[in-house]
Amino acid sequence: MKHSSLYLALLTSTLLLSACDKTPKTETAMPAAATAAETKTAAVPAYTPAQFYATKSYMGNDINHKADALLVASDETGVFNLYKVSLDGKSWTALTHSTTESILPIGWFPKDDRVLYKADQGGNELHHLYVLELDGSVKDLTPGDKHKAEFIGWTDDDKFWVMTNERDPKFFDLYSYDSSSYQRTLVYQNNQGYDIGALSDNGRYIALSKERTNADNNLYLVDLQSADKTPVHITPHQGNVSHGVYGFSRDNNQLIFGSDEKSEFSEAFAYNITEKVVQPYSKADWDIMYIGFSKDNKYKVEAVNADASTKISITDQSTGKALQLPELPAGDLRGVTFSADSQYLSFYVNADNSPSNLFVWKLSEAKAERLTQALDKAIDENVLVTSDVVRYPSFDDLAIPALLYKPKQASSTTKVPALIWIHGGPGGQSRTGYNAAIQHLVNQGYAVLAVNNRGSSGYGKTFYHLDDLKHGEHDLQDIVYGKKYLQSLDWVATDRIGVMGGSYGGYLTMAAMAFTDEFKVGINIFGVTNWVRTLESIPAWWESFRESLYAELGDPAKDGERLRRISPVFHGDKVKKPVLVVQGANDPRVLQVESDEMVAAIRAQNVPVEYVLFPDEGHGFLKKENRIKAQEAYLAFLQKYL
């Protein structure tokens, strides 16, 4: 779903913070002529799903108080577990040993090696926060069966702050926790449906966001030391303006936030808390995604979403000069983290043909140390494919950006089948970076065009809102015209083009199969098929932006006729080509019944449909075994029908 801060576009990378400059990708509207070298098919080793998912995934890289260890999660055991990793990468000590649920890192305690982490139950997204004690025991800090908790941050007094919706399932209240006794205090009771965006280091201020529509919201500041804690509106404006919170300055005097009021893209502004004035802070040619500061305030880190890649700058605030990074592999930096004294910098490097690898750089040294080998050694990185940024005209001549992955087997004399890949959202974005599912399919000889249809983020507010109340119509035509673009490439088998996607991408996949006769096959991965039910059954904790959802997609009470018209489940009789449906039984966003009914509707027409249901997954598959099974199902289905 689309939202300024809370929408999670599935099937994108787990780690998304910031990335380094990289050589710009080629941008082309039409295919280049085949070269002589393309006339002969290259011998490309074919790898199995198990080999691709033997690749290790990592997340987290918080540096502890002694600056001698990192907190890292790895899925090498099949689900994510926590490890204490020495800064040279030579020592990996397992801290948790889960075999069923993934354990996701939050960070170390500021003055010792206790650990905060979170976990849900089978993908239901009802995360609890836990503390892993020094003796290995675990305490659930947010016990209960039906609520969700999220970590907000640490303050200078060593308290940590957490929001939960246990009092009211619709809204999140803010609590502070004593780091020794774990006793908590209700600090802010949220009765009005604000989203909590940031907390100042001194624990005095919180920034709140209040949604009006999907194009307009307001930011507020609350002084927690005031008697009534009344939110103060700090972003008065005319018309529709979207704002997002980046965070507070380390001196607690400014709130840094984004706004598209003066530009197509999100620019950064600073609200001076004492003077109560807003001033420009930073701008770029694209959306500013993130602005943060090292713990000692020496460095500022700024990330920009530049045409589906993330570029960062790290600035020494005392000199205003850019920090010159050591020589690194090609790719994007992610998860930039400084030690408390800024002597060490930890980050991941990720590229289309290389999954995220962990690095540590001591700033006084010339070289950064690489701590991991994420790609399985059975796979030759040189066999994998990097994408090209392309643009093609849609039905109304709007330029649609996309990432094109060309198999190394493809040539004008060896034409390959192709797939259009549709991201989640609406409002998500297909971005450069390693994607095991895409790389496996490309390795098997399938071209992939990852389309950023109208309504995708990253291309300006006008483009972002072009699909409002037009879902399954104009955005679907962007997918159809993506097929036409693929058919213009002399190395694509023009009669063997399919479509696949997850979440909102799964919806557009089913819409393409039901409302057009363009695609030979469709793979629907936990896609919405009944918008009326989905909008009526959104998770309780999405209540704060219900009206924003309705502005984007429609109010089921008022727009039921249109929502039924664009919902594939009501049009199963129109599906004439084979479909594969993949679903998690615990999905709180797209309920299993959506896929059950879609499969039944297609089967009633005697059209081939295959169904893979994971009883222990939610909206996205965290267990490695299940990711392998899903990938095997994709390949078998495509080999059979495409």
Q: Does the pLDDT at position 7 exceed 90? A: no
Phi, psi of 314 (to 5 degrees): -120, 120
Q: How many CB atoms lie within 10 A of CB 27?
A: 11
What amino acid occupies position 544?
Answer: S
263 CB-contact burial (10 Å; exposed 0-12 / middle 13-18 / buried 19+)? middle
The alpha carbon dihedral of 42, 48, 54, 57 has a sign of positive
Q: Is residue 407 part of a domain?
A: yes
Confirm whether 119 is domain-assigned. no
| Nearest by Cα to 121 from 591, 594, 618 | 618
- 219 in a domain, yes or no? no
- Please tell me the predicted confidence (pLDDT) of residue 550: 86
Q: What is the pLDDT of residue 552?
A: 85
Question: Which tens digit of pLDDT belongs to each residue from 243-274?
Answer: 999 999 999 999 999 999 999 999 999 999 99
Give domain status of residue 506, yes or no. Answer: yes
Q: Is residue 359 part of a domain?
A: no
Q: How far is CA 199 from its chain centroid?
A: 23
In a domain, 81, yes or no: no
The token pair at 297 is 């305030």
3-class DSSP string for 209-232: EEEEECCEEEEEEEECCCCCCCCE
Q: For residue 21, is pLDDT > 50?
A: no
pLDDT digits (tens, 9 = 90+) for 381-391: 999 999 999 99
Over residues 585-602, the pLDDT tens digits come to: 998 888 899 999 999 999
635: domain CATH number?
A: 3.40.50.1820
- Predicted pLDDT at 2: 36
pLDDT at 481: 98
* C-alpha gyration radius of the chain: 24
- Give the model's confidence band at 547: pLDDT under 50 very low, under 70 low, under 90 confident, else very high: confident
What average pLDDT score do residues 452-458 get?
97
Give which of 157, 173, 176, 153 is closest to 165, Cα–Cα.
Answer: 173
As for how many domains the chain has, the answer is 1
Task: Indicate the pLDDT class of residue 33, thresholds 50, 70 and 90.
Answer: very low
pLDDT grade for 473, boundaries at 50, 70 and 90: very high
Q: Which residues contact 337 (CB under 8 A, 6 or more apart)?
A: 61, 62, 63, 345, 346, 347
Band the pLDDT of 4: cuts 50, 70, 90: very low
**Please, what is the average pLDDT of the chain?**
91
Q: What is the pLDDT of residue 205?
A: 98
pLDDT at 32 exceeding the cut of 90: no
Q: How many other C-beta atoms are found inside a 10 Å radius of the C-beta of residue 181? A: 7
Q: Is residue 532 part of a domain?
A: yes
Domain membership of residue 103 (yes or no) is no
| Lookup: tokens for 436 | 């095991």
The full DSSP string for 524-542 is EES----HHHHHHS--GGG
- Whether residue 450 contacts residue 434, with contact meaning beta carbons closer than 8 Å, is answered with no
Quick: pLDDT tens for 506-523: 999 999 999 999 999 999
Check residues 381 and 339 and name the one with the higher pLDDT.
339
Structural domain range at position 414: 385-538+572-641
Average pLDDT over residues 416-424: 97
DSSP 383: G
Q: What is the pLDDT of residue 3?
A: 37
Mean pLDDT calculated for residue range 385-407: 98
| Cβ–Cβ < 8 Å for 245, 221 | no
pLDDT for the residue numbered 42: 54
Q: In this predicted structure, what is the pLDDT of residue 213?
A: 87
Distance CA 520, CA 518 (A): 7
DSSP 543: G
For 135, other C-beta atoms within 10 Å of its C-beta total 6
pLDDT of residue 589: 83
pLDDT in tens, 609-631: 999 999 999 888 888 899 999 99
Q: Is the peptide bond before 426 cis (omega within 30 degrees of 0)?
A: yes
Encode burial over 393-420: b for 16+ CB neighbours within 10 A, e otherwise. Answer: ebeeebebbbbbbbbbbbbeebbbbbbb
User: Residue 285 above 90 pLDDT?
Assistant: yes
How far is it, in rounded angstroms, from Cα 390 to Cα 241?
29
Residues linked to residue 613 through DSSP beta bridges, in sequence order: 583
Rounded CA gap, 564 and 162, in Å? 39
Contacts of 274 (CB under 8 A, 6+ apart): 253
HEC secondary structure over 355-376: EEEEEEEECCCCCCEECCCCCC
Tokens 């659930």 correspond to 140
